[in-house]
Structure 1
Amino acid sequence: MLFCIALNAQESVEEEVVEAYKNPIKIGLKGGLSLPSLSDNSDNIYTQDFKSYVSFETGLFAEYGFSDLLSLQVELNYTVKGGERTGSQPIPAAQLEGQLPPDIALPSGTVLYAEFNNKSALEYIEIPILAKFTFGEDWKFFGNIGPYAGFLVGATQKTSGTSNISADIPGVGFLPNLLPDEVSFNAETDVSDSIKNFNFGGIAGIGVIKTVSSHSEILFEVRGTYGFIPVQEDETFGESRIGSVVFSLGYAYKL
């Protein structure tokens, strides 16, 4: 009888230990490559034809499990978003202020063009709140979805190359080689004042988790993000929305 009681007590303790780790709180870190995008569904010439470039994202997360299936994950991430454009592209006239000769008077509505490289890098601190669904035992598969809030911490426009200036003048037409010499576009400009400080968007992702020990897991995830708020303060130069595809590796520790 004593042996049976002791055995039952041991089984109860083991069940409590298993139950304690069945739906644990987890903390972790992750990082990886990002392919950001800068898109505008309008016909604004200043925001067309921007392409993705290779960037990065890194962050911390905490997860609370309500069941084997469902958990809540909160993150704190640093990410760089934006886009790049190369070749012939329009330039706001104000950008060339002081570089045009005083004898050149351009009428209102004139659009200037040049060939150069143009890269927009928008740095954000993002806070996603995600519902996470997990399936499996040793190898686990998961999906997550939810909103995020993004706070701008830096915005830089990096341009490079030299080009002559062309002009599309209302009532006159397209005039190539407006200047006798080429203009240098090698510059790195802080454009934070022209970008909104806050953004709000959605995230959806899928991934796989490998259990390493009773407390440790490693994970791989692919996710997509999309911002619902146009980033420009002045809509004259477009209504671009940011997004990204992120490939990340992470480590989680069960408390």
Structure 2
Amino acid sequence: MRVGSYLILQFLIIILFFSNNIMSQNPHKSPTYGIKGGVLLSSIQGDEAIDPFSKLIAPQIGFTGALFFTPKISVNAELNYEMKGGKFNSYELKTNLNYISVPIFAKFAFSKDPEIYVYAGGYGAYLLSAKTEGNYKRFEITKSINEDITSNVSAFDAGIIAGIGVQGRFSRKADIFLDFRYCQGLINIDNGTVDNRYNLKDSEIMLYPISPPDNALNKSFMLTTGLYFYLIKR
């Protein structure tokens, strides 16, 4: 959790350090902060035990901030809780990966009120916990699994993001927004520390490959809504 606390502190320092300078340079567009939440459709690609086309639907929630260089161009940072993972090809099993994520990206707006925008950047994430859970059936007997696999998953993840959205006025100090985002991980999330795939210890489930995947990557789509609050009334 010390790493998670460090990421939170780093996010706050970034916002506070630059906000005063940018406000003085660009008084027509105030820095913003906000809250956001939505759904995340996640899968793991590159692992033959995981179905890359079956999406795990999970929540995501967080805080966001924006610093404007011009009325149309801004740098944005977020601090999010995100549940990622995927579903297995066999049995009713899924892997849940819980992250604290810090995306940083540049955003460009095409229009004003409503504002249509696109953005791109990257993210870094710290793993809070990981679990394999669900049911499987062997020889007409149904069994359940609920196993902590945090030690078998890489503690850090990083990748690229891109998205599009729309933002409109909610009040003199707030805007409401809706956006759609694609996230592609670039780091192998399987750290190769377990012989029996995903730590499924039951001897009846020896159908998965023993060797770890070379490049198991997080992949997700996000649909998010939230509110931006301006530090200065418009």
Task: Give the one of 221, 231, 247 matched to 2:179.
Answer: 221
Pairwise CA distance, 1:186: 0.2
Larger Rg: 1
Partner of 2:68: 65
Alignment of 1:24-43 (within 5 A): 24-40=30-46
Could you tell me how far 1:204 is from its partner in structure 2?
Answer: 0.4
Match among 220, 224, 228 for residue 244 of structure 1: 220
- Superposed CA RMSD: 1.7
- 2:213 is the alignment partner of 1:210: no
CA contact (8 A) 1:125 1:152 kept: yes
Please say if 1:194 is aligned against 2:152: yes
Which contiguous aligned blocks of 4+ residues in structure 1 show a shift greater than 6 angstroms? none
- Give the secondary-structure state (helix, strand or coil) at the position aligned to 1:193: helix
Q: 1:212 aligns to what SS in structure 2?
A: strand
Q: What is the alpha-carbon distance in structure 1 between the residues aligned to residue 40 and residue 138 of structure 2?
A: 31
Is 1:50–1:83's contact at 8 Å kept on the other side of the alignment? no
Residue deviations 1:209-233 (CA, integer Å, cap 9, x gap): 0112221100000001011001101
Q: 2: distance between equivalents of 1:245 and 1:253?
A: 25
The one-character-per-residue Cα deviations of 1:14-48 (angstroms, maximum 9, x if unpaired) are xxxxx73x2211000100011001111xxx64345
The match for 1:81 is 84
The residue type equivalent to 1:117 in the other structure is: E
| 1:130 lines up with 2:105 in the alignment | yes
SS at match of 2:151: helix
| Whole-angstrom distance in 2 between the partners of 1:31 and 1:66 | 26
Match of residue 140 from structure 1 = 115
Q: What runs of 5+ residues in structure 2 fail to find an aligned partner? A: 1-25, 194-210
Q: Which digits, 9 at most, give the CA deviation of each residue in 1:86-116, with x for residues without a partner?
A: 5xx4xxxxxxxxxxxxxxxxxxxxxxxxxx2
Residue 187 of structure 1, CA deviation = 1.5
Letter of the 1:185 partner, please give it: K
> What is the SS of the residue equivalent to 1:161?
strand
Residue 232, structure 1, aligned to residue 190, structure 2: yes
**TM-score if structure 1 supplies the norm length?**
0.70
